[in-house]
Amino acid sequence: MGLFRRPPRTARRPPSSPDPVADAVRDLAGVRLHRRYEDVEPVLAELPDYIEVEDRSDVDGFDTVVGLFDEVHAYVDPFDSGLGSVLADQPGIDKVMHEDREVFHVRSRLALEDVRAAVVRAVVEANLRPRPPVPDADEITDERVDALADVAAPLLVAAGFVRRDGDARQRRYFARAGGDGFAQSAAILPGLGVSADGRQMNRLVHVIVGVYVPEAAHPGSRRPARPESIAPGDCTSWLQEWVEPVDGQVAAYVEGVALPWLAATRDRAALAAWATADPGGIDPPAERALHARLCAEWGYLDSAAALVRHIDAERRSLRSDRNYLAARALLDARR
């Protein structure tokens, strides 16, 4: 995920042991986790790999940010399981704000590895005994989300997307096959949580589109069986926005922002051209190194070289990134 580092505001306690995370995993050994996906087994020993904790004080009253990798969805839905509430009940955790589905702001004096251990325990607890989130009387309704999915549907279908069959919730999802084994997903979903500036995201509609690039997938991630079955959580890169639940605003975002991005990431050649047209616009920045490696592997050497030059000039912190190093090695080998 890669979280921007700022100086901590809190004087933290020393770690409770040489390895608090290993202690938490050992204490939970023998727990039988519930499986959320038929083809993915949640493995307790792998859970810490999907949790990132850093000192961050950019939100008043909080000093820690917890970031979850997408693989955590094999264990819990971070929102629907009430993970924020469960985490707030862990010893040493004073306060929790759930900003986005995979991002939590936390206040705690615990050492960072003890916070990470607390997240491990909370994920396991939420997997076994989920807590429904407290409802907001003004949150966007399912009926409104479904109506907005109907607004977006003609635009997406005209671009070659197939709308899922099934109940109303299933029909919020769209997918299409791309070239070179790529697949793309679009979804119109209810917003969840609260943003860092206090904005009520659950009163907005979440428009998310993504592309699945086989060579960019995490080795342990769930791979879509068919392009038409892909969901945003299966994708390797995303574009998303929280939009006011107004027909015209949703249609304008889908037509003016989402579909052009999807067209620019539909196959290898398009992705290479898009990545090098504006490297500084690739977010998160670590994906610039990823795209450099992919372009080098695919033989788009000019694109790979342009991305490497951008990193050398603008993002020197990425020069130790494994994808950057792989791209450099491939370029050097082909000179």
* Residue 62 confidence class, pLDDT cut points 50, 70, 90: confident
Partners of 240 in the β-ladder: 208
- What is the Cα–Cα distance from 52 to 30, expressed in whole angstroms? 24
Domains defined along the chain, listed by start: 20-128 (3.30.1360), 142-266 (no CATH), 270-333 (no CATH)
User: What percent of the chain is predicted at pLDDT more than 90?
Assistant: 67
Q: Position 314: which residue type?
A: E
Is the omega angle on the peptide bond into residue 284 within 30 degrees of 0, that is, cis?
yes
* Residue 219 confidence class, pLDDT cut points 50, 70, 90: low
Question: HSE-up of 220 (CA within 13 Å, CB side)?
Answer: 14
Residue 60 predicted with pLDDT over 90: no
* Residue 7 confidence class, pLDDT cut points 50, 70, 90: very low
Nearest Cα residue to 85 out of 97, 76, 75: 97
Nearest Cα residue to 26 out of 45, 41, 48, 51: 45
**CB under 8 Å to 192, separation ≥6 — which residues?**
79, 98, 100, 101, 201, 202, 206
Least reliable range by pLDDT among 70-79, 127-136, 191-200, 296-305 = 191-200
Q: List the structure tokens of 218.
A: 């995490």
What are the distances in angstroms from CA 39 to CA 60, 196, 223, 224? 41, 35, 9, 10
> Do the bridges between strand 183-190 and strand 162-163 make them parallel or antiparallel, or are there none, so unpaired?
unpaired
Nearest Cα residue to 295 out of 334, 258, 260, 261: 334
The structure tokens 């695919």 sit at 298
Q: What pLDDT, on the 0 to 100 scale, is given for residue 3?
A: 38
Q: What pLDDT, on the 0 to 100 scale, is given for residue 136?
A: 75
Average pLDDT over residues 114-135: 92
What are the distances in angstroms from CA 183 to CA 73, 206, 214, 229? 20, 20, 9, 9
Can you list the alpha helix ranges (DSSP code H) found in the chain? 20-27, 83-88, 112-128, 142-158, 247-253, 259-263, 268-277, 286-298, 301-314, 322-333
More confident residue, 231 or 1: 231
The DSSP call for residue 254 is I
Q: What pLDDT, on the 0 to 100 scale, is given for residue 284?
A: 80
pLDDT digits (tens, 9 = 90+) for 220-256: 555 666 767 788 878 888 898 999 999 999 999 999 9
Nearest Cα residue to 195 out of 61, 84, 80, 103: 103
Q: What pLDDT, on the 0 to 100 scale, is given for residue 220?
A: 56
* Residue 196 confidence class, pLDDT cut points 50, 70, 90: low
pTM of the entire predicted model = 0.66
Question: Across all residues in the chain, what is the average pLDDT?
Answer: 89
- The edge-to-edge listing of strands for the beta sheet with 64-68 is 51-55, 64-68, 103-108, 93-100
Average pLDDT over residues 256-269: 96
* Residue 334 confidence class, pLDDT cut points 50, 70, 90: confident
